[in-house]
């Protein structure tokens, strides 16, 4: 049986921290489906299509990773993909309360679906999409924070003109 894991998020934009988790999950599971939330409550900086396109560029070298969109409940998307595993990255204690709440809520909604947390690599502990957006807005360097191929795209959209 093929084991598929779902890695959900907003990816606004994708960072090297996300890529680290995707890469490591791809070595544990036969297939990793990155689920990009389409209609979140937030107002993303990047359009849905831009976020998907950036992810596609970033994971182009990993053969067993697919990028898909979802809206509605995460557990419904997980079932739709014939999976029973949600992958989440855990950066620090500050992530714990929110992620633990989501994991318990998702288990309440779908008891057969497990959330598995991968500890972020120490070099990405400080990294988040919002930090990337902030640095780009203020003209700072995104080197080592996002995939090299995306630096120009992100800076063009968010950077000082």
Residue 43 is among the residues annotated as catalytic for this protein: no
Residue 91 falls in the annotated catalytic set: yes
In the complex with ligand PNS, the residue whose CB is nearer, 75 or 135, is 75
For residue 66, which of 118, 116, 5 has the smallest C-alpha distance?
A: 5
**Is 129 tagged catalytic?**
yes
Binding-site member from 6, 9, 120, 136 for ligand PNS (CB under 6 A): 9
Q: How far is the CB of 102 from ligand PNS (least distance, A)?
A: 4
CA pair distance 16, 148, nearest whole angstrom: 10
Q: Does 26 bind ligand PNS (CB under 6 A)?
A: no
- For the question of residue 71 being annotated catalytic, the response is no
- The DSSP call for residue 59 is T
Active-site option among 27, 42, 43, 108: 42
The closest of 96, 66, 97 to 80, measured between CA atoms, is: 66
| Residues in 85-124 at the binding interface with ligand PNS, rule: CB under 6 A | 102, 105-106
Judged by CB, which is closer to ligand PNS: 103, or 151?
103
Instruction: Name residues contacting ligand PNS, limited to 132-161 (CB under 6 A).
Output: none
Binding residue count for ligand PNS, defined by CB under 6 A? 9
List binders of ligand PNS among 39-78 (CB under 6 A): 73-74
Which tokens sit at 148? 């090299």
Alpha helices in 110-146 (DSSP H): 129-137
d(CA 29, CA 84): 12
Q: Which residues of 111-133 are buried (b: 16+ CB within 10 A; e: fewer)?
A: eebebebbebbeebeebbbeebb
**Contact positions vs ligand PNS (CB under 6 A):** 8-10, 37, 73-74, 102, 105-106
Active site residues: 18, 42, 91, 129
């Amino acid at each position: 049986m093929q084991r598929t894991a779902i890695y959900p998020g907003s990816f606004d934009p994708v960072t090297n921290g996300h890529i680290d988790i995707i890469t490591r999950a791809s070595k544990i599971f036969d297939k990793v489906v990155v689920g990009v939330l389409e209609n979140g409550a937030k107002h993303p900086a990047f359009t849905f299509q831009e976020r998907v396109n950036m992810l596609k560029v970033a994971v182009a070298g990993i053969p067993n990773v697919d990028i898909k969109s979802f809206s509605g409940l995460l557990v419904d998307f997980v079932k739709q993909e014939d999976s029973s595993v949600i992958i989440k990255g855990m950066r620090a204690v500050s992530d714990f309360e929110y992620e633990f709440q989501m994991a318990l809520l998702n288990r309440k909604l779908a008891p057969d679906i497990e959330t598995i947390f991968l500890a972020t690599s120490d070099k990405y502990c400080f990294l988040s999409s919002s930090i990337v957006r902030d640095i780009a807005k203020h003209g700072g360097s995104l080197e080592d924070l996002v995939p090299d191929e995306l630096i120009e795209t992100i800076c063009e959209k968010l950077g000082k003109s």
